[in-house]
Amino acid sequence: MKNGESRKEGPPGAAALPGENRDRRPSPFFIEEWRVDPLSGEIARGDEVRSLEPRVMDLLVRLADRAGDVVERDELKRVVWGDPETSEEALRRAVWELRNGLGDDPQHPRFIETIRKGGYRLIAPVVRAEDAPEAPPERRRLWWWAVPVAIVAAAAAWFLIPRDFSSPEPKVLRGAPLTSYPGKETAPALSPDGTRVAFSWDGEERGNTDIYVKALDRETPLRLTDDPLPETYAAWSPDGTRIAFARLGDLQKVCVVPASGGAVDTLYSLRPALVGLDWSPDGRWLAFSAWGEEGMPPRIVLLDIETGEIRAMTNPTPQYSCDFMPRFSPDGSTIAFIRSGPIFQQDVHLISLEGGQPRRLTRSQGRIEGMDWAPEGRDIVFAAKAKTGYDLLRVGARGGAVVRVPTTARSAAHPSVASPGGLLVYEETKSAADIWRLALGEGADAEPEPVIRSTASDAAPCYSPDGKHFAFLSTRSGYTEVWTANADGSGQRQVTRFRGAQPVDPSWSPDGTRLVLTVARDDSTFLYEIDERGAHARCLVEGGADVVFAAACSRRDGSFYYERGDSLGWEIRRYGPEGDASEKVAPHEGMVLRETEEGDLVVWRFERGGIWRLPPGGGEGERLIEPEEMSYWTSLQAVPGGIYFSLLTRRGPLIAFWDEAEGSQRIVARLPENALSWFSISPDGNEALFSRAETRETDLILCRGFR
């Protein structure tokens, strides 16, 4: 097998799967100031709580059981992974995550020592919770929070216990609503002097998104723009007199408007996508994302405001989907940006304004929704996907541990920081997604009906081959997991226990007895097979440093196709029906949608765009559908005789069908404007399942005293 492809039992980060002994974890214990709770998978220090992936927690538990002793690598592989043949890279990555969680320095370790040609040793003392002695006065503060005690006693005794303030614990930032208007107020940007905030708002009627400015001490905002196209990513000029913003449409524009109101000037126009915008501290540059040359992923570019010239700052390889959301450091010497890797893995990177290679600060944070530099430029604050919402996190500009910024928000995104006054503004969104059904035989204006509704996010439905069931992704367990339900929405059942690893786009085997899906965890992607009831999960392919993405199962023999990519390019591979080694099918980038009776592959090609038919064994193939006619690669379903795909229009998304025999397309349904990208067509072609965002409100929250 190529690049470490392997078959392993149990998914990465899974919990309580057959064959795993995760229900026998010990009771809580202490390592220095950290309280470790193996059952919840969390470590706590004062008010700071961090979650460890189950594999990483298992590693810590094993080292704690043998504290002071050298635990050999093979023993750790056998106990934690159940396989002494596990790769060294997987073990090193788990140790790195554990050190990162504990805030340990491998060069000067306090907790974990690396023994060359041996293994690892936990050098810090371990104390079980039931054996914890009373702490001396200077440390009692830590034990107080670690040892469970009665709430009434806690309230009475807290004020009587001596505390050491030499290393203060992070305090919860108590925010107050800055806006509470109907609709959604998004993408806040504090002015340089910290007296005003610019933001986007879709208005009381929720009909159009424009740029507004609000003084912190006033309720009524000033509307700066009034254009039919949505506008966002407000960015202040260094002197606070102008605001740059993005006007989104088929042709996207970088515009500027006086902060007190006035005429709008267009500085630059480009094809999509423009994600993020920032103004340099010296006033010379505007940074944003733009597509690279010859179909290369979006990159960070600089626009010289005086000359109108464009300068490319980054050049992501085809392995990455894009670079976006640039932010200048306070001194203007560095740009922070987000690089999107395989399957929702996004991380903060830095690059010098002088150029060079980007430096990565975080590892596999999941989806990131906005960031900014903390006061004085020592840290970067960003919002990353948590269990069911977004957490605010911070990381040092020189690297180090990622630390949670404690807020009272359930989901905080798009932070903006102003040094004067220590101000922090962020979005707080209350939202959910439900699954709906739409009849396709009633014309384009048929009314949808709900199938699954909850307070969680339920998305990515996928019909089983017989149409009696469907699989979907849900956050109702606290993590994104795969669930199944009957066609009418009844009989909902959780079938995976990945507990933090990200499952993506499950698809059914032709006989409907199993699901094949991609699972992303850390810097790796895996291909998994699970049965319809979740009684068994099997890792088929481990991508290692490569990207692997599941696609379609063959209706002829039960094999399935998947995509593998690295920095050198992509290839389509086939995994045999009996679990035999995979083989390369075509040296092309592309997601296989189905296999024809003649053995051709119908493929969505990432770089070339559109839908293609590839002959057996490779070859250039034939383009069937042009890319400009399509919206999302997730909104594609190939069936015998044609392909369903989505179109974006001003009136909302449409579902179209391309008839293979006639070589033409027709509109079969109109989706609501808030429909998400995934849909699934029933086997009889009469209905479509889709997910719809049930967003209630997005308000802006202001915190003071942020340092």
Q: Contact, 561 vs 599, CB < 8 A?
A: no
One-letter amino acid of 151 = I
In DSSP notation, 368-434 reads EEEEEEPGGGSEEEEEEE-SSSEEEEEEETT----EE--BS-SSEEEEEEETTTTEEEEEEEE--EE
Both tokens of 315, joined, read: 């050049």
Backbone Cα Rg of the chain: 26
Q: Which residue has the tokens 């890279």?
A: 89
Q: Contact, 591 vs 602, CB < 8 A?
A: no
How far is the first Cα of the chain from the last one, in angstroms, to the nearest whole number?
Answer: 50
In a 3-state reduction of DSSP, which class is residue 21? coil
Query: Mean pLDDT across the stretch 470-485?
Result: 88
**What pLDDT is attached to residue 587?**
73
**What pLDDT is attached to residue 245?**
98
| Model pLDDT for residues 192-216, shown as the tens digit of each residue | 999 999 999 998 777 789 999 999 9
DSSP state of 685: S
C-alpha pair distances (Å), 152 with each of 39, 148, 149, 155, 157: 25, 12, 9, 5, 9
In DSSP notation, 103-157 reads T--TTS-SSEEEETTTEEEE-S-EEEGGGPPPPPTTTHHHHHHHS---HHHHHHH
Q: Is 299 exposed, middle or buried (0-12, 13-18, 19+ CB in 10 A)?
A: buried
Both tokens of 467, joined, read: 């149409």
Q: Residue 75 pLDDT > 50, yes or no?
A: yes
Give the confidence band of 150 by pLDDT, cuts at 50, 70, 90.
very low
Q: Residue 136 pLDDT > 70, yes or no?
A: no
Q: Residue 175 pLDDT > 90, yes or no?
A: no
Q: Residue 359 pLDDT > 70, yes or no?
A: yes
Arithmetic mean of pLDDT over the chain = 79
Give the confidence band of 387 by pLDDT, cuts at 50, 70, 90.
low
| Higher local confidence (pLDDT), 150 or 392 | 392
Q: Contact, 530 vs 484, CB < 8 A?
A: no
Q: Residue 565 pLDDT > 50, yes or no?
A: yes
In a 3-state reduction of DSSP, which class is residue 186? strand
Q: Contact, 80 vs 95, CB < 8 A?
A: no
Query: Mean pLDDT across the stretch 598-614?
Result: 76
**What pLDDT is attached to residue 681?**
92
CA 102, 105, 111, 117 dihedral sign is: positive
Query: What does pTM read for this prediction?
Result: 0.60
Query: Mean pLDDT across the stretch 653-664?
Result: 85
Tell me the backbone φ, ψ of residue 145, rounded to 5 degrees: -80, -20
Q: Is 491 exposed, middle or buried (0-12, 13-18, 19+ CB in 10 A)?
A: exposed
Number of neighbouring beta carbons within 10 Å of residue 261: 11
What are 368's strand-pairing partners?
384
Compute the distance between CA of residue 225 and CA of residue 222 in angstroms, rounded to an integer.
9
Q: Residue 132 pLDDT > 50, yes or no?
A: no
Q: Residue 461 pLDDT > 90, yes or no?
A: yes
Query: Mean pLDDT across the stretch 557-565?
Result: 78
Compute the distance between CA of residue 464 and CA of residue 462 in angstroms, rounded to an integer.
7
- ∠ CA 447-453-454, rounded to 5°: 155
**What pLDDT is attached to residue 630?**
56
Compute the distance between CA of residue 191 and CA of residue 304 in angstroms, rounded to an integer.
21
Both tokens of 357, joined, read: 């290679």
Both tokens of 75, joined, read: 């023993």
Query: Mean pLDDT across the stretch 611-615?
Result: 82
Helix (H) / strand (E) containing 472: strand 469-474
Both tokens of 643, joined, read: 């392909």
Both tokens of 505, joined, read: 């786009």
- Name the nearest CA neighbour of 527 among 4, 51, 95: 4
Lowest mean pLDDT among 276-285, 350-359, 541-550, 678-687: 541-550
| Higher local confidence (pLDDT), 150 or 586 | 586
Q: Residue 84 pLDDT > 70, yes or no?
A: yes
Q: Residue 409 pLDDT > 90, yes or no?
A: no
Tell me the backbone φ, ψ of residue 99, rounded to 5 degrees: -60, -40
Query: Mean pLDDT across the stretch 135-155?
Result: 29
